[in-house]
């Protein structure tokens, strides 16, 4: 990362309650991919910019705030300022979330390339990157489900299935808006369907239709079965870090990656609870 990447502003949007930070040179979240090759002339350039307010980080922040409020009520976090500061932040995030992140059919922004999805970020440097369909909202849908409208999230999950989801993998972003030029090279697939499985299962239950729940459970079990086949065929008995397009082998990928396996374990736990 270049020097410019370290010179950025971070803070909290006092109106919406969203945390923000970063700039176009800053690798600020787990999905920012930084170029590092002088010969390829991509050193210091981000292929997948996520500055501004990232949807997954907002969910984590709200979850922590909610936890602190509960700890305060139970006497484990005895600071009086919690009564106003945290309660206000929690309410602001809850009220602002759907309004700021959901892209409905009436949205006329020139940056919109797909509707009925959740934005990936708010107030990014490049603006259009806010409107990308990316899988980070799946984390939010599991960690902070209380922020979502159940109809909206169900529609967004269908978009993921049509555009991002593969047999074993999930794309980092939709292909129609990929940035690949002389500065940026991007491997686009990660073997990490765990949060999708968990989100799909949870929100199927919120649709108030037993048939949807049963159909979803069977569908997700098929996805898990494909993962188990991969695990059994892997000498490391785990899941790959990532692949190239269409699930093809990437020679630069780790043979096994903790987050790929860990998110699947969480998904298996949720499925087991559903069966019980």
Q: Residue 252: which of 178, 172, 181, 185 has the closest Cα?
A: 185
Cβ count within 10 A of residue 50: 27
Question: Could you tell me the pLDDT band of residue 47, with boundaries at 50, 70 and 90?
Answer: confident
Contact between residue 242 and residue 190 where contact means Cβ atoms under 8 Å apart: yes
In three-state secondary structure terms, 173 is coil
pLDDT in tens, 190-245: 656 899 999 999 999 999 999 999 999 999 999 999 889 888 988 888 888 888 77
Task: Determine the distance from the C-alpha atom of residue 100 to the mean position of all C-alpha atoms in its chain, rounded to a whole number.
Answer: 16
pLDDT in tens, 53-66: 999 999 999 999 99
Contact between residue 102 and residue 120 where contact means Cβ atoms under 8 Å apart: no
Tokens 């409020």 — which residue? 69
pLDDT in tens, 239-270: 888 887 777 778 888 888 888 889 999 999 99
pLDDT in tens, 75-128: 998 877 766 666 688 899 999 999 999 999 999 999 998 999 999 999 999 999
pLDDT in tens, 120-170: 999 999 999 999 999 999 999 999 999 999 999 999 999 999 999 887 778
d(CA 244, CA 1): 24
* Domains of the chain, residue spans: 187-276
d(CA 205, CA 210): 8
Q: Tell me the DSSP string of 91-138.
A: HHHHHHHHHHHEE-TT---TT-SSSSEE-SEES-TTSGGGG---THHH
Q: What is the pLDDT of residue 82?
A: 65
Q: What is the pLDDT of residue 189?
A: 52
Contact between residue 108 and residue 126 where contact means Cβ atoms under 8 Å apart: no
Structure tokens at 194: 């765990």
């Amino acid at each position: 990362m270049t020097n410019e990447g370290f010179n950025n502003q971070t803070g909290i949007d006092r109106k919406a309650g969203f945390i923000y930070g970063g700039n176009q040179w800053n690798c600020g979240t787990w999905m920012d991919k930084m170029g590092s090759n002088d010969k390829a002339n991509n050193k210091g350039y981000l292929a997948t910019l996520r500055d501004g307010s990232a949807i997954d980080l907002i969910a984590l922040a709200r979850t922590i705030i909610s936890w602190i409020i509960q700890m305060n009520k139970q006497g484990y976090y005895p600071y009086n300022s919690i009564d106003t500061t945290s309660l206000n932040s929690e309410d602001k995030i809850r009220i602002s979330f759907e309004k700021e992140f959901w892209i409905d059919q009436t949205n006329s922004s020139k940056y919109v390339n797909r509707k009925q999805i959740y934005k990936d970020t708010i107030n990014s440097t490049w603006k259009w990157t806010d409107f990308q369909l990316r899988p980070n909202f799946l984390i939010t849908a599991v960690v902070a489900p209380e922020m979502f409208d159940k109809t909206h999230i169900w529609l967004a999950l269908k978009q993921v299935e049509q555009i991002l989801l593969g047999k074993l993998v999930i794309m980092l972003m939709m292909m129609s808006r990929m940035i690949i030029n002389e500065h940026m090279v991007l491997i686009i697939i990660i073997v990490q369907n765990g949060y999708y499985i968990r989100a799909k299962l949870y929100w199927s239950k919120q649709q108030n239709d037993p048939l949807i729940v049963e159909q979803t459970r069977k569908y997700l079990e098929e996805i898990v079965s494909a993962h188990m086949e991969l695990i059994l065929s892997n000498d490391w008995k785990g899941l790959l870090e990532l692949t190239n397009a269409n699930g093809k082998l990437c020679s630069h990928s780790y043979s096994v990656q903790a987050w790929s396996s860990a998110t699947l374990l969480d998904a298996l736990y949720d499925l087991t609870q559903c069966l019980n």
